[in-house]
Structure formats: structure tokens, C-alpha cells
Amino acid sequence: LEEQYSPSRWSPRLGKDTVIQAHLAATAAGTQRARAGAQTSLHVPYGDGDGEKLDIYFPTDPSGTFPVLVYIHGGYWQCLSKDESGFAALPLVSQGVAVVAVGYDTAPKGHMDTMVLQVRRSLAFLVEQYSGIRGVYLCGHSAGAHLAAMVLSTDWTKYRVAPDIKGAVLVSGVYDLEPILHTYVNDALNMSWEVAQRNSPMRCIAPAAPAAVACEVLVAVAQHDSPEFRRQSQEYSQALRAAGWSVSLLDLAGVDHFDIIEKLSEDTYVLTQVGEELPSSL
């Protein structure tokens, strides 16, 4: 399990330390380009916590209303931040899509329950504050895909809002936290079995309500993800489909756990094109 849940060990491109450094450099550079080339509102607070802030990249030509892509970063719930999570913005804002990078309190400061709650509250804040939003799309990578999947299981009556979630792109995610309990990843998270159970998207799938049927879920996994990551993606997509959700599994060749998401800064990348199709799909 230690090896299976160490994504950096599975990249054929670079060594396990080098691939992480390259990922940090690529996402940070892409975010800097986006901040320089797009209209932004940075560090927008959606709550009182230190990590409860959003970076918003507005469409180049906001025509009153616009779809929004909410990006939730990975980092095994204990590193990375919204500050290097705007790398997908430039190709999308030019197509009329707003991009929001969500910050949350990572471990050990942030507890798993807290992180899930924060991401849900960030969406409630967005739809309350920005009346121009017409359709929300979630995109999460790795731990961020887990958090995005937990958003799909939200009972929004508790938040007194109903975000119009049109789609979700879940990239190389973890959807059952139980195996994580037995690895080094849990050293910082300090999850109990009960915490892992209630925060596992696999165990929170509700039968698809009419709104969920209209929500297109794309579960993407890399050729060079570990067999465990690939199994989790396959089983979660099957469970969603069995519950009546509209879901597709995309197995991307020639990429690993890191460049599968880094390439979102490229116009020609398949996942970027999925994002660019959002306005027309509305």
C-alpha cells in the first residue's frame, strides 16, 4: 500500500523526487502566467479561517452571466495551495469561463471533516456572492478529486443554497479513504476509521436526483497512475453509474499522476477542450 499510494514512484518520466519538483514548478509557472494575463480577484475570503480564501479568474469578455470552473488542488490533503492552482485559467477565461481556485486548511492544521466542510462552504459562498454564475463545474486533482466528489454528495438544504452543478471532472482521485489509513499519508491526517468512512465518496453516493442526472461526471485516470489509483477510479465511476449518475471514465494514455493535470494549461489538451466546451454545453 505504501508503494501503491506513492504516485511519484510510478512516473516513467522522472525520479520520484524530481517529478514532484517539476510538478510544483509547472503549476506555479502556469499560475503566474494566468495572473498576468487575466482579470483576477485574489485571496477572496469565503470564511474566517486562514485557508478559507479563493482566487477568481474572470472571463476575458464576461457577458453578464458565465459558467464557472471550480478547481480544487491536490497535495494529499497536506501540501500545495490555491496559490499555484490557477494554471488552467488562461485557456478557459478566453472561452468565457470563470475559474476559481479554492483554498482550504491542509493537514495537520486541517482535519478531514474540516476540509470537506470548507470546500462545500466555498461553493455556497460563490453562488451567493456572484449572481452572474450560470452553471458550476467542479474540477479536482488527486486529493482535490476526492474533495470534489464529496461536494457531489452534499445535502445543500443545510447551506440554504442550491448550486447548479452541471458537471465534474475528477482527475486521478482517491474515492475510498480506508486504504490511506494504512499508509504514511495518514501520519499528517491522523484519520480514524470512522472519519475515513464518512468522508469516502464511495460510501456517500446517493441515488441520482433529477439534478444529479443532469450533472455530467468525468472520472479521468492516467496510464501511469498506480494500479490502486486506477482501481479506485474505475470502481467509483461504476458505483456512480449504478446509482443513476451520468458518468464517463477516461483513461488517458501517455501521462502520469502529475502531467495529467499540468497539461490543463495547454489549449490542445483533451481535458482543456472538455473545459472549453462548457459554455456550449449550457
Q: What backbone phi and psi angles, to 5 degrees, belong to 243? A: -90, 5
Active site residue 257: yes
Active site residue 23: no
- Centre a 10 Å sphere on the Cβ of residue 26 and count the other Cβ atoms it contains: 18
Q: Which of 55, 83, 225, 256 is flagged as catalytic?
A: 225
What does the longest C-alpha to C-alpha distance in the chain come to? 50
Distance from C-alpha of 250 to C-alpha of 230, rounded to nearest angstrom:
11
Residue 267's alpha-carbon distances to 189, 193, 258, 270, in angstroms, are: 36, 42, 18, 9
Q: Which of 122, 141, 257, 265 is flagged as catalytic?
A: 257
Q: Which of 122, 142, 172, 237 is flagged as catalytic?
A: 142
Active site residue 105: no
Closest alpha carbon to 138 in 59, 32, 240, 217: 217
User: How many residues can be counted in the chain?
Assistant: 282
Closest alpha carbon to 121 in 42, 48, 202, 209: 48
Cβ distance 172 to 145 under 8 Å?
Answer: yes
Cβ distance 71 to 27 under 8 Å?
Answer: no
Distance from C-alpha of 179 to C-alpha of 177, rounded to nearest angstrom:
6
Residue 26's alpha-carbon distances to 86, 91, 243, in angstroms, are: 11, 16, 37
Amino acid letter, residue 150: M
Cβ distance 127 to 161 under 8 Å?
Answer: yes
**Peptide bond preceding 207: is omega within 30 degrees of 0, i.e. cis?**
no
Distance from C-alpha of 120 to C-alpha of 154, rounded to nearest angstrom:
7
Active site residues: 142, 225, 257
